[in-house]
């Protein structure tokens, strides 16, 4: 449809002039132009009036739109519209009452094309006229756009601008390529390949890419789209509108009535193509085709292009095969994209995107694509195409076997997240996680399928901060795997998505002389000589703490590189914990009577427990929120020698003895040294380290008579000591952060004990 201008250039003949319908429409079009031409002619003979009107102000956007409505409102009547349609179209469409909604907004389509093509338009101006077009269509449907637009209407117009951007971009890309490579243009102009009609069809190509099913829903509104899309004439209306837009564009560029005449010829021919025979034509993919990552679809895909159209088009179906015998209708994602639908394709396509072929889990090799176009009245048509699938499974999917990415692996800004459960007064949340110590990286590192290209090497680098540009500077390499031996190529298998990218070559166990070396190794997966390993990220001090980006780069045997990036938080700062009883030295005797004031069971006998429960911010200069604020909780316990262990309630806001919290979710104290490369030593802390209150132990818990009075009980009787006896008790603090480390999903640290001998010296 977009090539009408070239295919129907003057000189090819125009048989439409013998058609009474054409002559009638031509007369109506000329009659619509006459008042405008008359006004202009009168101004040409009256300079004073021309000056008066010009001095009143330059032409405005409102004047331009008013002129369009003046001309095309008079021209595009229902009688004119019906005369444009081929006789066979009128029979197929049935009574006009069934599709008058379509007829009424074709005038909007003509005006849209006329306004856009009246002068050079950049993308922003194009978007403005798209807004006016949207308003016009909604008005004709009886659902005018609100003033101001509702949130849903704003969302619909946002979709229209997004689709326009996608339709406009190929034009910009082509123009950029043209100005970058100008060497052949002089010869093309001299030999006549480039003439005054060059580029006239490009506007129609933009319009054709713009009118997608997603655009149709946003243009009409969801309810109107749902209602009208069920009608047999719905997708003819799309074709008619496209012809009308190109007709309006042609008229805007007309320099004479002769040009206007030819524009009408093209319009008639375009409409007849809408009711042409059923067409099935696949144009892509062909040859060696590399799959591409689609963040919107969350998959690796190959685009399928072609034409599926015809006067009584109903739908089209795509199928794939690896042997051209057995075909499968799965794995095609049909427009509108995103989000896509499983098919079949219900809108005709003219040399455009038919569907995305999901190749994420497909092996490399030859694939056949078959399309079947189905009509309401004509025999279905089939066509085929085949191509070689080139796989690029270059992905970082996990760290330390943690794979939970919030927006999927195709999003360069995806984050590793976890659900943090509610704890005491702290609400549940979803937060980004951090990793520390010796890090393993999982993903895929494999290319191949055609052009004799296969993997040669892959590399892992890191860089501070978030980075999605693989070509930027500042990367530091920390891993390299080179494929150099036949054995390594024989068992290359890094395409599972969960393969260890941090791996080392092991011996080839299929070679008898090396079999004895294989026993110590544990393979990461079958058919691989790569064995799991990890990279020590803890360089000591404050190195490698904060937000970083990992880059995976794959080099193939043709010298081509492929890459993927993934950001993550690295935490090599350890929590610190220490506990002490200020009232009693370590290993000294503690007498219950010194704290039982009064010594009855009705009041707590508080023993303050001091200490540190601290986890430093990963990045001291970043905001104190997760994951940078990585502190999770601490708890305090006391163990009776040879007896049970109990946890001690943690004081806090709203402490309720009937419903105590045994976990502290706020830091206590500060060890001062925040960049220790290992767990802090509670016996060798900085002299200035700050201690705070961890908890208060109720000594009634050790008394067999008063332990029953503790509201947060019950206390195991074996934990108590008879009055007059002594026993050793050990107080401990445990501190947790939320960093994933090789030893477990989250860190747990137990620190220096504070043993004391408690003597229950109360009288019986």
- Between CA 427 and CA 650 the distance in angstroms is 17
pTM to 2 decimal places:
0.61
CA distances from 153 to 137, 140, 150, 159 (A): 13, 16, 5, 10
Find, among 361, 381, 379, the residue nearest to 371 by Cα.
Answer: 381
In this prediction, residue 515 carries a pLDDT of 52
pLDDT in tens, 357-378: 999 888 888 999 999 999 876 7
In this prediction, residue 512 carries a pLDDT of 55
Low-confidence ranges of the chain (pLDDT < 50): 1-13, 524-526
- Between CA 418 and CA 722 the distance in angstroms is 48
Cα-only R_g, the chain: 38
pLDDT in tens, 462-519: 999 999 999 999 999 999 999 988 778 776 666 667 889 999 887 766 555 555 555 5
- Between CA 470 and CA 335 the distance in angstroms is 31
561-570: strand order across its sheet: 476-482, 455-464, 546-556, 561-570, 434-435, 739-740
How big, in percent rounded to 5, are the helix, strand and coil portions of the chain? Answer: 30, 30, 40
In this prediction, residue 467 carries a pLDDT of 96
Write out 568-599 in H/E/C secondary structure: EEECCCCCEEEEECCCCCCCCEEEHHHCCCCC
The domain limits of the chain are 18-178+195-274, 279-390, 400-570, 576-759
Q: Which residue has the tokens 């502290």?
A: 664
Task: Give the residues across from 462 on adjacent strands.
Answer: 476, 550
- Between CA 311 and CA 501 the distance in angstroms is 54
Q: Which residue has the tokens 């008394």?
A: 703
> Considering the domain 279-390, what is its CATH architecture?
Sandwich (2.60)
């Amino acid at each position: 449809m977009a090539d009408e201008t070239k295919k129907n250039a003057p000189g090819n003949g125009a048989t439409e002039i013998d058609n009474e319908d054409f002559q009638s429409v031509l007369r109506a079009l000329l009659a619509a132009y006459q008042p405008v031409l008359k006004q202009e002619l009168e101004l040409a003979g009256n300079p004073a009036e021309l000056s008066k009107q010009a001095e009143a102000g330059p032409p405005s956007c409102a004047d331009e739109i008013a002129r369009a409505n003046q001309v095309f409102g008079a021209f595009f009547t229902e009688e004119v519209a019906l005369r444009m349609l081929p006789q066979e179209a009128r029979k197929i469409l049935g009574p006009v009452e069934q599709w008058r909604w379509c007829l009424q907004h074709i005038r909007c389509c003509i005006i849209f094309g006329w306004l856009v093509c009246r002068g050079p338009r950049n993308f922003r101006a194009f978007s403005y006229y798209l807004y006016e077009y949207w308003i016009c269509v909604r008005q004709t449907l009886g659902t005018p756009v609100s003033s101001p637009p509702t949130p849903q209407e704003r969302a619909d117009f946002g979709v229209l601008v997004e689709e326009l951007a996608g339709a406009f971009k190929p034009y910009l890309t082509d123009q950029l390529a043209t100005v970058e490579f100008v060497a052949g243009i002089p010869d093309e102009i001299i030999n006549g390949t480039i003439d005054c009609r060059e580029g006239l069809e490009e506007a129609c190509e933009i319009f054709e890419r713009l009118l997608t099913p997603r655009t149709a829903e946003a243009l009409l509104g969801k309810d109107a789209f749902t209602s009208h899309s069920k009608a047999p004439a719905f997708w003819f209306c799309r074709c008619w509108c496209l012809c009308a837009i190109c007709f309006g564009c042609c008229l805007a560029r007309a320099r004479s009535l002769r040009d206007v005449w030819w524009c009408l010829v093209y319009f008639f021919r375009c409409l007849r193509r809408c009711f042409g025979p059923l067409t099935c034509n696949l144009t892509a993919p062909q040859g060696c085709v590399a799959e591409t990552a689609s963040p919107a679809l969350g998959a690796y895909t190959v685009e399928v292009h072609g034409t599926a159209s015809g006067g009584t088009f109903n739908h089209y179906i795509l199928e794939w095969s690896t042997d051209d015998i057995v075909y499968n209708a799965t794995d095609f994602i049909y427009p509108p994209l995103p989000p896509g639908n499983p098919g079949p394709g219900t809108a005709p396509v003219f040399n455009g995107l038919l569907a995305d072929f999901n190749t994420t889990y497909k092996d490399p090799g030859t694939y056949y694509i078959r399309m079947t176009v189905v009509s309401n009245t004509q025999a279905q048509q089939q066509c085929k195409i085949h191509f070689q699938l080139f796989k690029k499974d270059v992905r970082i999917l996990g760290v330390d076997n943690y794979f939970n990415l919030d927006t999927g692996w195709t999003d360069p800004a995806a984050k590793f997240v976890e659900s943090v459960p509610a704890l005491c007064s702290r609400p549940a949340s979803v937060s980004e996680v951090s990793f520390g110590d010796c890090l393993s990286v999982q993903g895929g590192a494999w290319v191949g399928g055609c052009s004799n290209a296969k993997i040669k090497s892959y590399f892992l680098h890191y860089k501070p901060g978030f980075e999605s540009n693989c070509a930027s500077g500042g990367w530091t390499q920390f891993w390299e795997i080179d494929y150099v031996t036949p054995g390594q190529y024989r068992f290359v298998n890094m395409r599972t998505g969960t393969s260890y990218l941090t791996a080392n070559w092991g011996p080839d166990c299929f070679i008898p002389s090396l079999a004895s070396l294989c026993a110590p190794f544990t393979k990461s997966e079958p058919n691989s000589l790569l064995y799991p390993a990890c990279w020590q990220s803890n360089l000591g001090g404050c190195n490698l703490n904060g937000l970083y980006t990992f880059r995976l780069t794959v080099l193939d045997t043709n010298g081509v590189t492929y890459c993927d990036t993934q950001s993550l938080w690295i935490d090599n700062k350890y929590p610190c914990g220490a506990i002490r009883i200020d009232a009693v030295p370590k290993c000294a005797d503690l007498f219950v009577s010194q704290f039982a004031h009064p010594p009855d069971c009705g009041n707590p006998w508080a023993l303050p427990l001091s200490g540190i429960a601290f986890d430093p911010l990963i990045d001291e200069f970043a905001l104190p929120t997760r994951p940078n604020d990585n502190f999770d909780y601490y708890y305090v316990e006391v163990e009776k020698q040879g007896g049970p262990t109990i946890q001690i309630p943690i004081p806090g806001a709203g402490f309720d003895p009937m419903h105590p919290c045994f976990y502290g979710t706020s830091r206590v104290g500060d060890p001062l040294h925040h960049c220790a490369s290992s767990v802090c030593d509670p016996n060798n802390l900085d002299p200035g380290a700050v201690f705070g209150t961890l908890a208060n132990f109720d000594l009634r818990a050790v008394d067999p008579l008063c332990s029953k009075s503790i509201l947060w009980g019950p206390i195991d009787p074996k934990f108590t000591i008879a009055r007059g006896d002594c026993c050793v008790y050990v107080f401990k603090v445990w501190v947790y952060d939320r960093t994933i480390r090789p030893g477990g999903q989250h860190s747990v640290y137990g620190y220096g004990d504070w043993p004391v001998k408690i003597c229950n010296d109360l009288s019986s």
